[in-house]
Structures are given as C-alpha cells and as structure tokens.
Amino acid sequence: MKNTPSHLPEKARKHVCDALRAVLTDGLDLYTQMKVAHWNIKGPHFTSLHPLFDQFATDQAANNDAVAERILTLGHLAVGTAKHVAKHSRLPDYPQNLTKDLEHVALLAERIGELLVGMRAAREVVKKHEDEDTFDLLTGMIEQFEKHAWFLHATLGG
C-alpha cells in the first residue's frame, strides 16, 4: 500500500510493520488466553481476579486495535485470523482444563512477560528506523502491561 501520511521510507515502514505484526499476533493470542483464564477461574481469589483478568483482556484488545491501525497508517495490512495467530504466535499454548486461581495468575504473568519481550524487540526495530510515533505507542503499551504483570507477581507474593 502506498497511501500513507508517514514520512518514513518504504523499506523502514516494511521493517516496522513486520515487527508490529509479530506484536499483534502475540497480542491477539494473549487476549484469548486472558479470556480463557477469566471464564474458567475458580478459587478463593475469584472475586478479585475474575474482573481483573477481564480488564487486562479489554486493555489488550485496545492495544491490538492500536497496533493494527498503526500498521495500516504506515501503509501495510494487518493480519490476525485465528489460523494465522495459531501458526505464528510466540506465546506458549494455554491449558484448557485449568481452573485454580493462582495457577492462572502464574501462567498469565509468564505470558505477559513473553509479550513484553516481543514488544521491546519491536521497539528496538522502531527505534532503529527513527519512528518516534510507533516508539511512543509501544512504550505506552509496555508501561501498561508491566503494571499488569506487577499486579500478578504481587498476587503470587513475589
């Protein structure tokens, strides 16, 4: 796609968009994993974690949308079908039979950590290509999910 308001050269936009697509893929996977945790959680921490997981999923859905829209703004296409995500996500699969509250907390903390690794790697690509706007977008998302990870780690007592 050529119609873009971006000042970046095409080659830079392609590299940035490739990095953003990986973040989007992982983010879409994490969103579904958070919803599985939200739906299936049971245990003494249910009343506090059930809405927390839903808020995390809502935040991730907004981030997914922002990343996809940034890709389009840069003149490329966003991808994110379930089959694409299943094939390309860097996150481990989520167990479908898990119900214990603190087990969900530990798994989501691990997966948010993986998402953060991918976001930081994408931010390095963006920094290399001097795309300050995308850098700022990723920085905000990283800050948000570092806080979410902190909530989960605090729940685990670590």
Set out the domains of the chain in order of their start, with CATH numbers: 10-156 (1.20.1260.10)
pLDDT tens-digit map of 111-122: 999 999 999 999
Global pTM value: 0.95
Average pLDDT over residues 64-75: 97
Which pLDDT band holds residue 147 (cuts at 50, 70, 90)? Answer: very high
What one-letter code names the amino acid at 47? T
- Burial, 148: exposed, middle or buried (Cβ in 10 Å; 0-12, 13-18, 19+)? buried
Determine the Cα–Cα distance for residues 116 and 27; give it in Å rounded to an integer. 10
Q: Is the pLDDT of residue 12 over 90?
A: yes
